[in-house]
Amino acid sequence: MNGWHFIDGQWVAGNPLLLGAWSHATWMGCAVFDGARAFEGVTPDLDLHCQRAVRSATALGLASPLSAGEIEEIVRDGIARFPAGAALYIRPFLWSEDGFMAPDPASTRIAISVVEYPLPDPRGSSVCLSRWRRPSPETAPTDGKAVALYAQAGRACGEARRKGFDDAVMLDPLGNVAEFSSANLWIAKDGAAHTPVPNGTFLNGITRQRVIRLLRTAGVEVHERSMTFQEVLDADEVFSTGNYGKVMPITRVEGRDLQPGPIYTQARSLYWSFAHGG
């Protein structure tokens, strides 16, 4: 791993060990993170990602040792350690060291990672419906980007890959479409864009919110609403938004092949223009 990690006031290279055998987060799972990107010399919405990291920590009963602004300053210092324009993944990670059941907020630690990680090629990916569902807000810490949530997402993704697909579509507890395993889901139908309305079961992604604003400003009709999986199967286009790949096409849903369409293409173009100051 070509990366730098800011821990206890200094930068450390490689893949340093963080948690001990008796750290509260090790056995109670109290940890959160956020992801941001640097690429082509830009860092779109970096401030919002740093702010969300602090909010996620608060949602789980942690107390970030650094403000969002301080995290952002450290991230920018880390970016400067790489060649200009390098594709990087940025991850503030916060966890609890002490506590029993509930974490001791005063024991919260933070590691800020900046690692070389290429953006995925937007060649298209395949998805299938998962039997594993997203939890409701009453049953899991869905109001933060909690590490604990990704065990369920990992089961869905693993199930899809065993079936020969790249990723999974996850439903919410009521059977409506929620998201992919780690990205927000979009469809296009009859010239309009549609995406599941945030209902507390999945993260209302920063890239998702940005693309909604960009499309609407460009005159594209965007509907946030409840959606069935049959609508995904019948869509003209399917695509995703998320920090890892930003805006990515889906070219196969179950047994149906699709092509990247005009709304996906416009969404990706608008996002790249926004990221570069457009």
Residues 77 and 143 both lie in one domain? no
Residues 190 and 85 both lie in one domain? no
Check: CB of residue 62 under 8 Å from CB of residue 94: yes
pLDDT, tens only, 38-76: 999 999 999 999 999 999 999 999 999 999 999 999 999
pLDDT, tens only, 119-145: 999 999 999 999 999 999 999 999 999
Residues 192 and 163 both lie in one domain? yes
Question: Quick one: which of 169, 221, 180 has its CA closest to 203?
Answer: 180
Task: Specify which residues 186 forms β-bridges with.
Answer: 239
- The predicted structure's pLDDT at residue 263: 98
- The share of the chain scoring above pLDDT 70, in percent, equals 100
Task: Specify which residues 179 forms β-bridges with.
Answer: 170
- Burial tier of 254 (Cβ tally within 10 Å: 0-12, 13-18, 19+): middle
The alpha helices in the chain, defined as continuous H runs, are: 24-28, 46-59, 68-79, 150-162, 206-217, 229-233, 262-275
Mean pLDDT, rounded, for 243-247: 97
Question: What rounded mean pLDDT belongs to the chain?
Answer: 97
Whose tokens are 């040792």? That residue is: 65
Mean pLDDT, rounded, for 250-261: 97
Determine the residue type at 49.
H
Reduce the DSSP state of residue 5 to 3 states and report it. strand
Reduce the DSSP state of residue 110 to 3 states and report it. strand
Residues 196 and 162 both lie in one domain? yes
Query: In this structure, what token pair is assigned to residue 47?
Result: 């401030």
Domain hosting 98: range is 3-116
- Burial tier of 121 (Cβ tally within 10 Å: 0-12, 13-18, 19+): exposed
d(CA 95, CA 97): 7
Q: What letter does residue 8 receive in the DSSP assignment?
A: T
- The predicted structure's pLDDT at residue 48: 98
Residues 112 and 129 both lie in one domain? no
pLDDT, tens only, 181-220: 999 999 999 999 999 999 999 999 999 999 999 999 999 9
Residues 109 and 172 both lie in one domain? no
- The predicted structure's pLDDT at residue 269: 98
d(CA 246, CA 250): 13
Residues 195 and 81 both lie in one domain? no
Residue 138 backbone phi and psi in degrees, to 5: -75, -15
Residues 157 and 39 both lie in one domain? no
Name the domain boundary from 88, 116, 144: 116
pLDDT at 246 over 90: yes
Residues 102 and 138 both lie in one domain? no
The alpha helices in 12-170, defined as continuous H runs, are: 24-28, 46-59, 68-79, 150-162
- The predicted structure's pLDDT at residue 37: 98
Query: Which pTM does this prediction carry?
Result: 0.96
CB atoms within 10 A of CB 28: 16
Name the domain boundary from 116, 135, 153: 116
- Give how many domains the chain has, as a whole number: 2
- The predicted structure's pLDDT at residue 1: 78
Residues 51 and 9 both lie in one domain? yes
> Domain holding 70: CATH number?
3.30.470.10
Mean pLDDT, rounded, for 6-26: 97
Name the domain boundary from 83, 116, 149: 116
Determine the residue type at 99.
G
- The predicted structure's pLDDT at residue 214: 98
> Domain holding 206: CATH number?
3.20.10.10
Mean pLDDT, rounded, for 239-247: 97
pLDDT at 92 over 90: yes
Residues 195 and 263 both lie in one domain? yes
Residues 150 and 236 both lie in one domain? yes
Q: Return the sign of the alpha-carbon dihedral for residues 107, 206, 153, 225.
A: positive
pLDDT at 261 over 80: yes
